[in-house]
Structure formats: C-alpha cells, structure tokens
Amino acid sequence: MRWEGQWIWRSREVQINDFAYFRKEFQLAEQPDSAQLYMSCHHYAHVYVNGIRLGGYGTPAPTNPLKRKLYTVHEVAGLLHRGMNCITADAHYLGGDGQNSVNGLPGFRLELHGQGAGGQGFKVLSDSSWQVLADMPHQAGTPYQQERRISAVEAYDARKLDPLWRYAGGEFRSLCTSAHPALISNDAWPMQLQTIPEGQIEEELRLTSVAVLQEPDQSSYIQIFDAGRVVTGWPCIRLRGYAGAVIRMRYSENLDEQGRTGHNVANEESETYYDEYTMRGDELEDWQPDFSYKSFRYVELTGYPDMIAPASGIVVCSAHTALPYRGHYRCSNEMLNQLYDAAVRTQKNNMLGQLVDCPHREQAQYLADTELQAELLLYNFDAVDMLEKTLSDFADAQLEDGTFPFVAPTTFEHPSFHIQIPEWDLHYATLLWKLYEATGESGRITAYYEPLTRMIGYYVEKIDSAMGLVPIGKGWHISDWPYPSVEHEGLFLTVQQIKFIQALDIAGYAAALLGKSEDQQRYEQQAAAMRKHLNARLYLPESGAYKDSIGASRAHQGVSALALFANVVPLEERARTLAYVRKKEWECSTVLALPLIRTLFDNGCEAEAYAILSRREYPGWGYMIEQGALTLWEGWQDIESHSHAWNGYPGRLLQEYIVGIRPAAPGFTQAVIRPYLAADLEFAEAAVWTVQGTIQVRWEKTACRKLLITAHLPAGISARLELVCGNQYIEQALHAGLNELAFEGILEE
C-alpha cells in the first residue's frame, strides 16, 4: 500500500522513554460496510476505536526501521457507526541505545480506509489535525528496567486521563495541543505488513501470597505474590481506588535473603525492575503495565493500604506472540511429560515479537538461539514466519564485510553492544536450511541467498593459506555454551571449522536448488578442501576423536559428535569416532548436546541417546525437572536465566525419536514413522505440526507381547512405518487418514 498518513509526534523533541497520547474525532454519514485501520509506531502503540482496544501487544514487532518498518491492519467496520467517531492511540518511544532495538526516531502513523453501503469511500489519516494530550498519564523519561535498556519503568498516573478521552463528544481542547510532524520523513522508512501474530494474553494466572509485611510507618503493606513459575507478561491489579496512592510492583525470578523480591533481572542487578501506578480514587481500578514484557516468578506490591486477595485483586497475565500451537507429547514416564511441557512453556515465554534468548535480562534475538529453538518450533507451532523474521532481521543488520552483529535488531554502534560471535554467524545457514526442509519452498532460499553467500564469502577470505582452515578472528568465540569445557588453545577451533563446512554444504545445496551451477561447484570444492584440511590437522586416528582446537590437549565428546553429525568424518573412520563418542561420559552443554543426541539416535545408539533424555541426575534436563523447574534453565546449573528456550529441543526429540515421527522429504511430503520402543515405556504418543497438516502417532505395548500403533496422516503425506524389535525389522506403507496396526509377538521379553 502507498502510505498517505504522516508520521506524527507530540513535539519535535527526541526524549528517551517518551510517550504520546493522540486523539482524532471524525464524522461518518453511515455505518460502513468495511473499514481497514493501518497502524505503525516507533516503538510501540495501543490503538482504540470508540473506546475498544485493537489488536495485541508489543506492536509493531521490532525491526531496523531504516530497512523495514512493520505495520498492522485490522478490520474495524463493526466498531464504527453513523455520526461522530473517535480514534485514540497511546504511543511509546524507547530510544536510549538499547541492546535489542534501533533508536530511530519517535513517531506514530495511522490510516483508516472505509467504504459505505453505497460505495462511498472515506479515509482518516494521521496529521497535524490530531490532538495530543499535554499532561499524559505515562511519565516520560523514566529509568530503564534492565542493564540492556530494553524496557522502561511505566509510571502511570490514572488521575491524568479522563475516562471519556477515548469516546467522541468530549471537550478536551483546553487539555491538548496539536500533533507535530515527526522528524521521520514520510518516505524515510520502507513500510512492510507484519506477518507474525501480535502478542496476546494466553491466560491469567492466579497467585499465591508468600508474605505480608507492614511498612515502618504502618501506612501500607509489603505484599509478595508467587506465580508458581517463571512467566512472561505483566501483573494486572483490580483494586479499590485510593486517590493519590502510589502502587509499586517489583519483579524477580527469586526472593532475596529477607524473603522479599530480589533487586535483579535474572543474574544481573537492577534497582528499577518495577512499574508504578498512581490511583485515581475510583470504586474499582484496573491497570496493567503492558507496554513491555516482564519476566518473573514473584511480584512484590507496595504502597497499597489494604490487604490484597490474590485471587481477585491481582493476577499475572501470561503473554507472548500468539503463534498457533499444534504439538503434543505424552508417554508413561511422567518426568518426560513434564520435560515436554516445560520446553513448550519456556518457548512461549521467549516469543516476544521476535525469538529471544531469554525474556528478562535481554529479550534479544541471536542466530544460534533461534536455530536451536527452531527444533521445537517447527514440530509444535506454525512458526515459519516467526523464524523467517530472524533471517530478515539479520539480513537487515548484516555488516559491510558480510558478518553479523551478535544480535539483531540492535544498536551495534554502541560500545556496550559492539559484539560479534563468529560461530553464531554460521547458524544463519543452518537456520535457513531448516526452514527449507520444513516447508519445501525455495522462495526463502532465493530471498536470503545473497546474505548467506556474503557471510560465507567473509570466512572463505579468512582461510589461512598454509593450514587451509579459518583462524579465530574478531569477536567472542564459542564452541559450546553455556559454561563450556571445550578448549580454545591456538588459532584454529574445531567447532568453527565444522560449522563452516556445514555452511558451505548448505550454500552448495541452495545453489543447486536455484540452478546456480558455478556457485554449486565452487562451494562443493571449498567444502571438500575444508574437510581434507580438518581431518589432516585435527583428527586423532589413534582414538578416532577430534581435538578441540589446534593447540588443545583434550578431545571433547561434543566436538567429535558434531563432526559425525556434519558428515566430516571419513566413511572408513566413522565407526571408530562413534565408538569414542559413545563411550565417553556426557560432557556437552546445550549447543553440542543436540548434535550428540541426534548422532546417537541416527547411528544405532538409541539406548544411549534415550538415557541422556531420561536421566534425572545432574547434568541434564531431567535434573532441572527433579528440582521442580517448570521452565528450562540456560544450562545445567541453577544459575543465571531460568527460562531459556534454546534448551527446549528435547521436546521435539521425544516426538521425533521416541514416538518416531520424522520427515523423509522437504515439506514433510514424505514421512517415516520409526519409534524407539524404550524398555521402561508402556506407551508414547505425539502430534506434530507440518505444512501439510498435523501428524498424530501413538504406540502402546499390551499383554502377550503385542504392539499397537495408531497413525493419523494428513492428505499430501506419503509415509512408511519402520519397526526394529530385536532382530526383527518390519516395514509397512501407511496411507492418509487413520492407520491402526497391531503386531503380535514382536516385543522382547
């Protein structure tokens, strides 16, 4: 669409953590048959039509506005009527050189296009005729809540907003000024329709009271509430009003030594992780600080003179980007069920307009985090557009030399965030290929081929001519995370070489899909050369292992597992390397545990892989569950973030390997059902999202060594069942719709 509405703001001044309250009345001769409202803002806005709030939260989703500024559209004909109508908007500008946003400039933009029954059209455009409230409820210039400056304290004074503000007919001219054209020129930012859903409140969580203390002056209480788990969203208070009472709500994942809510955001200190509400004095007042996502388990409320009933006076709104959830997993092992639930819960916490590493201290989009999250997402959510957003955000942020900032969107020029992670760059390739494999659509390969090849070109240029390998370079090098035990001695890191080979392979596959035969040949030759040099320099033939790095004395289990997973190990050496990986005690952290488990499952070591997934002792996911965790930690240790979605891929592995639902062709047009019938499981079932529809499979062991399998396949998928039971191998074709199969006497005693 060609935008006509102007970017407007309340003044020509740029102020951090600013707000603007806009209002526009307009006359309609008839009830419209259709009316579309288009809205954008930098950074976020809430829009109301005749007092009814539109859409969701965190809107529009963050991008670099110089490259793409997102807008949303809503059908609002049902909210309009003949006569005078009113649109209001509350807009918020962050600024402040935050880690996961681009400063840009403050601005709000809106267009309303409608049509009546007689075909008569009308439009309402943002311009200087709009009113701006001079004295706003939201205080401008409040402190940031985290070190990374990703959200501001909401200090809201309810006395400053007339309840009639959002409706036509009120007289507010004496309280308002005229809107100003924003400093953004109307054609400065390319406008793009937002394709991912907006944030929505999924549920309201009832709280339990942890403690009630009295302030020293006995004028009010200190009341601490527990949501029962780490949740992303915000609290909502519904309380009797006391005019002028200032209620502060402080958040944390933990309580301090005095039993009060900690002054921290995850593992980082913060005195300002709170919001404030000044009451108007109504019989009942309802408010929630919903311009930003908070993540916490405990909320401490101070400044209110009465005792609060947690069931009615305060709730916590669990909110996230509203991706449709289609997955399911259940089995006879309750710990594995809890692990799956925790993985899904953690993933929802980390979908906040983009896929973020954690929902509290950073809310930042990393390539490695998104690629690891893609495992669970692509089996359980309609997440294709959400994952593509990561690719497009990093394409927008790509530096001149082809590398990427460590997060995107970001204020990369700020010294605090002028950070790069070379190994994370290479996840751009694997993320792109996972999207292709999930959808079977080559359009995204076409769209992101250029940023992919520019990134690869940088590392090709850095190959050391004598060693034939890529040396360590600018930025922060990570082979495994968190708390890695991989050695980084010397100039050449094994994990970086393997991930670069994976990227070269993918570039070759992409070139072949696009008919770029010269590119395909070049990438295949470069990948072959890298394999040759890697095996010559870093492979240990006496053990079958790969050294951690050129100067390392150790050979980490995960490094060798990654070499197997990436098909770097020569065919004649694979058995030796697999034996090395298989016999070593588990030592991988989150990043390398995924290729380890996949390698074991895919190479006849299902029992060892299942033992990792199902173990309850430290380290591992089961250990977290045994400690009562309802969301997954950043790593195995009970420190730092307690809601890190990149640790959630076991949820998919349970569906893919235990139940056995696996793709056999891009876009899931072909599937294999190959369950692992673990000895301690009586049944397992799963539902998996695909672009073809949802696949549902259940297997169950019954008496007399009988195995029952039920598989429901959508049209468009051809599938086969593969069973390995002792020395028996059974293969059977499956058809679309319901398949019910029974196998007699094949289970081992």
Q: Residue 748 falls within a domain, yes or no?
A: no
Give the helix/strand (H/E) hosting 432: helix 427-439
Q: Residue 268 falls within a domain, yes or no?
A: yes
Q: Residue 419 falls within a domain, yes or no?
A: yes
Q: Residue 360 falls within a domain, yes or no?
A: no
Per-residue pLDDT tens digits for 469-524 = 999 999 999 999 998 899 999 999 999 999 999 999 999 999 999 999 999 999 99
Is the separation of the CB atoms in 352 and 232 below 8 Å? yes
Return the percentage of the chain with pLDDT > 90, whole number.
Answer: 95
pLDDT of residue 217: 85
CATH label of the domain that carries residue 678: 2.60.420.10
Q: How far is CA 153 from CA 138, 270, 272, 291, in A?
A: 10, 12, 7, 10
The mean pLDDT value for 228-232 works out to 98
Per-residue pLDDT tens digits for 661-718 = 999 999 999 999 999 999 999 999 999 999 999 999 999 999 888 999 999 999 999 9
pLDDT of residue 380: 98
Question: Do 398 and 474 fall into the same domain?
Answer: yes
Q: How far apart are CA 19 and CA 132, in angstroms?
A: 11
Question: Do 655 and 677 fall into the same domain?
Answer: no
- 117 pLDDT above the threshold of 90: no
Confidence grade of residue 602 (pLDDT, cut at 50, 70, 90): very high
Question: Do 155 and 217 fall into the same domain?
Answer: no
Question: Do 176 and 205 fall into the same domain?
Answer: no
pLDDT of residue 484: 87
Per-residue pLDDT tens digits for 514-567 = 999 999 999 999 999 999 999 999 999 999 999 999 999 999 999 999 999 999
- 592 pLDDT above the threshold of 70: yes
Question: Do 181 and 204 fall into the same domain?
Answer: no
Q: Residue 359 falls within a domain, yes or no?
A: no
Which of 309-318, 383-392, 603-612 shows the lowest per-residue confidence on average (mean pLDDT)? 309-318
Question: Do 81 and 212 fall into the same domain?
Answer: no
Question: Do 379 and 411 fall into the same domain?
Answer: yes
Give the helix ranges, DSSP H, for 222-366: 334-349
- 134 pLDDT above the threshold of 70: yes
Average pLDDT value over all residues in the chain: 97
Give the helix ranges, DSSP H, for 205-331: none
- 748 pLDDT above the threshold of 80: no
- 455 pLDDT above the threshold of 90: yes
Of 134, 165, 195, the one marking the end of a domain is 195
In what side-by-side order are the strands of the sheet with 728-734?
661-663, 670-673, 718-725, 728-734
pLDDT of residue 356: 98
Burial class (CB in 10 A: 0-12, 13-18, 19+), 187: exposed
CATH label of the domain that carries residue 585: 1.50.10.10
Question: Do 305 and 380 fall into the same domain?
Answer: no
Question: Do 166 and 244 fall into the same domain?
Answer: no
Q: How far apart are CA 128 and CA 659, in angstroms?
A: 60
The mean pLDDT value for 144-164 works out to 97
Question: Do 676 and 588 fall into the same domain?
Answer: no
- The number of folded domains in the chain is 4
Per-residue pLDDT tens digits for 395-412 = 999 999 999 999 999 999
Of 141, 168, 195, the one marking the end of a domain is 195
Per-residue pLDDT tens digits for 274-296 = 999 999 999 999 999 999 999 99
pLDDT of residue 704: 81
Is the separation of the CB atoms in 85 and 50 below 8 Å? yes
The pair phi, psi for residue 28, each rounded to 5°, is -120, 140
The pair phi, psi for residue 300, each rounded to 5°, is -110, 125
Of 260, 293, 321, the one marking the end of a domain is 321
Q: Residue 407 falls within a domain, yes or no?
A: yes
The mean pLDDT value for 186-212 works out to 97
Region at 120 (left for phi over 0; alpha for psi -120 to 50; beta for the rest): beta
The mean pLDDT value for 135-156 works out to 97
Name the more confident of 483 and 23. 23
Virtual torsion, Cα 364, 65, 140, 232, nearest 10 deg: -30
Residue 400 DSSP class: T
Q: What is the residue range of 712's domain?
A: 671-743
Confidence grade of residue 749 (pLDDT, cut at 50, 70, 90): low
pLDDT of residue 183: 97
Question: Do 532 and 677 fall into the same domain?
Answer: no
Which of 174-183, 319-328, 423-432, 475-484 shows the lowest per-residue confidence on average (mean pLDDT)? 475-484
Name the one residue in this structure whose structure tokens are 């029974």. 742
Q: Residue 348 falls within a domain, yes or no?
A: no
Question: Do 418 and 470 fall into the same domain?
Answer: yes
Q: Residue 300 falls within a domain, yes or no?
A: yes
Return the percentage of the chain with pLDDT > 70, whole number.
Answer: 100
